[in-house]
Amino acid sequence: MEPLRSSDPARIAEHRLLGRLGAGGMGVVYLARTPGGALVALKVLLAEYAEEPGFKERFRREVEVARRVDSPWVVPLVDADPDAEAPWLATAFVPGPSLAEAVSSYGPLSERGLRVLGVRLAEALGEVHRAGLVHRDLKPGNVLIGHDGPRLIDFGIARAPEDRTLTATGMVVGTPGYLSPEQAEGRGGDGIGPASDVFSLGCVLAFAATGRAPFGSGALDALLYRAVHDPADLEGVPTGLLDLLGRCLEKDPARRPDAGELARELTADAAVQSEGPGEAAPQDEGASAWLPEAVSRLIAERSAAALALPDIEHTLAPTETPAEPPTATGSPAEPETRETSAAAEPRDSRPAGRRRFLLLAGGAVALAAGGGGAWWAAARDGGSGGKGPAATASSRGPVHTIALHGDLSGPYRATGRAQERGLRLAVEEFNARGDAPFTVKVKAVDDGGDPAASARVAKDLTGDPTVLAVVGPTTDDTGQAALATYDAGLLPVVGLSPGTTNLTIQGFRSFLHARLLDAVLPIFASNYLLGTARSRKVGIVVDRPAGAYGTNLASSLSNTLANVPHPSVPEVVSAMRRDFGTAVDGVLSAGADSVFFAGLPDRGALIAATLRERAFQGARVSGPALLDDQFLTQAQEAAEGWVMVAPVIDATRKPEARKFAAAYRERFEEAPPRYAAEAYDVTSMLLEALAALPSKGRTRQNLLASVREGKYEGITKNIAFQENGMMAIDGSGAYVWRVDQGGFVYDGPAPLTA
């Protein structure tokens, strides 16, 4: 929970405000006490939005919908005033994580847990449907986890099937990845009924069973396409639930069970009953026996923190200095040792009604710090090789820590070590300044490329109050494992090498994506193919083993070419095949004079060899994954002439980076590898923002807000961020590399136009 700001009221109606749970562009969600002392989440819309035609009416409709649904598994509406100058509504406060946070941080549920979750959400949907409504946005982020069961939230877009105010044909409403086929196709009016919610519940249960969405991740159009056309990925779902989830995920709404039938089939497990909250079944070991132990502990921590909050006689809004949050390792009532300031508090970019509840008084961080145990990932505060000085703290002024979270010993160690060295060089230069207002210490932590270790690293760094920012992690998978923990501690994290859209669309507040996403790079690749290569027809070869990475590249390029319009020929290669002959012959026989490969280095070598055998002379283009020595080693002569569009520079060839390259060579006795300059840039950006803050305002929250709102002119590119943490596209960030005489050669910025 963030402290109140001096501009916040002390009360709204008779509700005394305790702190901020989140904020978005349209309003703020507060934690508040009712006149009777109960805790509520109170959502307030900004007054200026209430003046917009129809806006207050839509808010009033949300209040009416919430009042119509009566279920113990739906967060109840406590009070509301849709006609106030700044309309507001208050719902019961649930001091637990969302299902998205619980599964992402602690893993999938057991079959027992899945049945409890499914029964109670099906019962909640049954009440929604009996009220004549369809929820329309059931997803893991809209399910809160209490010790006695789940709670469904967010009726902002719930409607009766015949209500066309938000469901005109062609309009897609909801969250891609959890939408029914009828929603994904934008069917209007009666086309979206209760069966749509059952499909979404099937998606939610599949996520809870496996830790991943059943239609994968990637570009939004790809998610919508898969929901309509592709079978759900149910690998890892317990055998006893496979048939039922498969029926929930039928493309034809008429073939799905209704909510009542679903609840009855799930209770085939005799241990699952449909008691109300707090009424555990007689055979239960406890109300929370359906949850992993770590999630139960987290709920207990947050519940204890809620109980420790001030009563209604002592919850005054701050005037100058906000209340101090707890230390990462202390009790909820213990003050944190670092100083805070009310200035430049970050805003949650998600709409207030869609927020994930933030941690109460640091309970989640306390749990994370206390559960580290013995783990193999090594923390390195010393140097990273080379002959220069290590980045150690001096006695000048306060000491702040910038951390590197990376793969320093595993399969992506070259990238992780390059980022570590770039970070260290930026810190050493900062510490050497005569006017530096503080000293910076480096904490480099190795996860070995292992997602489980990455999650433990995130807990360690979040629990260290001296760490004000993190650069990393190195890969998509290690990033996915860590970001929920960083988000809970609001610790700024700047990613350089992960490229999946999924890390951005999950809404992590503290994550900043400081590179163009994989789904954006094909826009520049199409400019190269149509302009530089003058291709008349592009063959797109999608390699299934590349997973979401390959799908992102291929679908983005296909859509970009279709919008021009420009002809393309798609071919998909199964993971079971190592022979690319059929795919290559397919695109060439269709008239393709260039080939774009959406895949990884080892299989890239296979298609390169096939094209060489066919004496193909056209352009051969791919994404950043092929910018890897493995491709050169395995493809050998067949790699010659290939072009990669990637989000990384060669610092020795970019004029703005030559001073950095010379300093790097002096420090580490070698030319800077890829991603070293990028790490130097974002570290310098963080240090510049931190130095600009007043001494008492150098906190994680204020640093995050400053970086989010600022713009940094770096040696690699200009860096600025959109509201969702994605890097703003301003003409920089994509670069062309080619293979020449057995090595990668940097050719400068990718073309902005064809």
Same domain? For 355 and 424 the reply is no
Please say if the pLDDT value at position 603 is more than 80. yes
Range of the domain at 487: 372-516+653-721
Looking up tokens 């490329």 gives: 449
Residue 610 forms part of a structural domain: yes
Please say if the pLDDT value at position 642 is more than 80. yes
Q: What is the mean pLDDT of the chain?
A: 82
Whole-prediction pTM: 0.55
Cβ pair 105, 97 in contact under 8 A: yes
User: pLDDT tens digits, residue range 522-565?
Assistant: 999 999 999 999 999 999 999 989 988 998 899 889 988 988 88
Same domain? For 382 and 503 the reply is yes
Same domain? For 128 and 262 the reply is yes
Residue 612 forms part of a structural domain: yes
Same domain? For 573 and 706 the reply is no
Same domain? For 476 and 510 the reply is yes
Residue 732 forms part of a structural domain: no
- Taking alpha carbons only, the member of 318, 314, 326 closest to residue 343 is 318
Please say if the pLDDT value at position 137 is more than 90. no
Reported as a pLDDT band with limits 50, 70 and 90, residue 326 is very low
- Taking alpha carbons only, the member of 150, 146, 229, 148 closest to residue 185 is 229
Same domain? For 393 and 245 the reply is no
How many Cβ atoms are within 10 Å of 328's Cβ, its own excluded? 24
Q: Which of residues 428 and 307 earns the better pLDDT score? A: 428
Q: Give the gyration radius of the chain's Cα atoms.
A: 27
Residue range 64-80: average pLDDT?
Answer: 84
Distance CA 161, CA 173 (A): 13
Same domain? For 423 and 452 the reply is yes
Distance CA 77, CA 90 (A): 6
Same domain? For 606 and 496 the reply is no
Domain boundary among 365, 395, 423: 365
**Cα-based distances in Å from 86 to 28, 51, 81:** 11, 9, 9
Cβ pair 218, 552 in contact under 8 A: yes
Same domain? For 255 and 330 the reply is no
User: pLDDT tens digits, residue range 560-586?
Assistant: 898 888 999 999 998 888 899 999 999
CATH number for 186: 1.10.510.10
Q: Any catalytic annotation for residue 163?
A: no
User: pLDDT tens digits, residue range 687-700?
Assistant: 999 999 999 999 99
Residue 283 forms part of a structural domain: no
What pLDDT is attached to residue 471? 98
Total number of domains constituting the chain: 4
Distance CA 360, CA 22 (A): 12
Cα angle, residue 420 at apex, residues 419 and 426 outer, rounded to 5°: 90
Same domain? For 324 and 261 the reply is no
Token output for 267? 């209770």
Residue 571 forms part of a structural domain: yes
**Cα-based distances in Å from 540 to 145, 226, 535, 644, 646:** 43, 18, 12, 14, 18
Distance CA 196, CA 198 (A): 5
Same domain? For 683 and 716 the reply is yes
Residue 485 forms part of a structural domain: yes
Please say if the pLDDT value at position 379 is more than 70. no
How many Cβ atoms are within 10 Å of 9's Cβ, its own excluded? 13
Please say if the pLDDT value at position 442 is more than 90. yes
Torsion angles phi and psi, residue 711, rounded to 5: -140, 130
Distance CA 407, CA 447 (A): 5
Residue 441 forms part of a structural domain: yes
CATH number for 544: 3.40.50.2300
User: pLDDT tens digits, residue range 276-286?
Assistant: 554 433 333 34
Same domain? For 341 and 379 the reply is no
Distance CA 720, CA 733 (A): 11
What pLDDT is attached to residue 169? 34
CATH number for 55: 3.30.200.20
User: pLDDT tens digits, residue range 649-700?
Assistant: 999 999 999 999 999 999 999 999 999 999 999 999 999 999 999 999 999 9
User: pLDDT tens digits, residue range 150-201?
Assistant: 999 876 443 444 444 333 333 334 567 888 998 887 665 567 889 999 999 9
**Given the residues 8, 137, 348, 407, the one annotated as active site:** 137
Reported as a pLDDT band with limits 50, 70 and 90, residue 393 is very low
Residue 2 forms part of a structural domain: no
